[in-house]
Amino acid sequence: MKKILSLLVLISGFLFASEQFVTYEVDGKKYEGYISSPSQNAPLVFLVHDWDGLTDYEVKRAKMLNEMGYATFAVDLYGKGVRPEKIEDKKRLTSELYKDRAKMRTLLDGGFNEAKKLGLNVSNAVGIGYCFGGAAILEMARSGAKLKKFIPFHGGLQTPKGQDYSRTKGEIVVFHGTADKAVSMQDFANLAVELEKTGIKHEMLTYSGAPHAFTVFGSKRYHEEADKASWKRFSEILEDTF
């Protein structure tokens, strides 16, 4: 019996130290997330991809977090194998979810439940998202999800009509570029006012000269100074949270 238990512990340790794609289902449709974890009880970062879908970018961020001692579950909101390359396809996929917030929440919950099934530490977790994923992580915040913090990087900041932050359980931290032409500084200010009015603890940071998608390595919009500064502050927030 002791040998069997030892073997199970060894297998468990291998699983949680692994980095791999995992297939799961939500409402009968297959999705493919990505797990990266250094240990079984590592604090969890629940990550939502940008409008490209779950790509090498999210995998790289997950690996960076793994090296810092955090587990990551990168959720998939499009479907297994759905990784759009054309702008019109990216707009279509995101638009469908923006118009159907109930479906967006179902997919977010489905991914979070999968992380729980995998044994990740969902009781000690924060959520982050990039661009479209930033808007999605704020949707998760408004849904009342039990995460300690909700952190959008250059994400959509508008609150949909009929929604508010009255059910929000955790803190909000926003990383935004003042040169962002897709998400205005007015949106940034409106969110700050709304969070203050609702009594939600928040921290909102802007970076001069940083455009939309300023953290995306290798892109024309990449802004190294803003990316490094926001990641540094993000790292400090993780340390303070966990």
Q: What is the pLDDT of residues 19-71, one digit of tens each?
A: 999 999 999 999 999 999 999 899 999 999 999 999 999 999 999 999 999 99
Return the amino acid letter for 36. Answer: S
Q: Are 151 and 137 in contact (CB under 8 A)?
A: yes
Residue 17's pLDDT band (boundaries 50, 70, 90)? Answer: low
Is the predicted pLDDT of residue 232 greater than 90, yes or no?
Answer: yes
Is the predicted pLDDT of residue 154 greater than 90, yes or no?
Answer: yes
**CA angle, corner 103, sides to 100 and 107, nearest 5?**
140
Instruction: Give the residue-averaged pLDDT of 78-89.
Output: 98
Q: What is the pLDDT of residues 204-219, one digit of tens each?
A: 999 999 999 999 999 9
Query: What is the residue-averaged pLDDT of the chain?
Result: 94
Say yes or no: domain 17-241 is CATH 3.40.50.720: no
CA separation, residue 142 to residues 30, 58, 172 (Å): 26, 23, 11
The C-alpha atoms of residue 116 and residue 120 are separated, in whole angstroms, by 5
Q: Name residue, tokens 């979810």.
A: 97
Phi, psi (rounded to 5 degrees) for 240: -70, -35
Helix, strand, coil fractions of the chain, as percent rounded to 5: 40, 25, 35
Q: What is the pLDDT of residues 2-12, one digit of tens each?
A: 333 333 333 44
Q: What is the pLDDT of residues 134-153, one digit of tens each?
A: 999 999 999 999 999 999 99
Instruction: Give the residue-averaged pLDDT of 71-87.
Output: 98
Q: Are 159 and 135 in contact (CB under 8 A)?
A: no
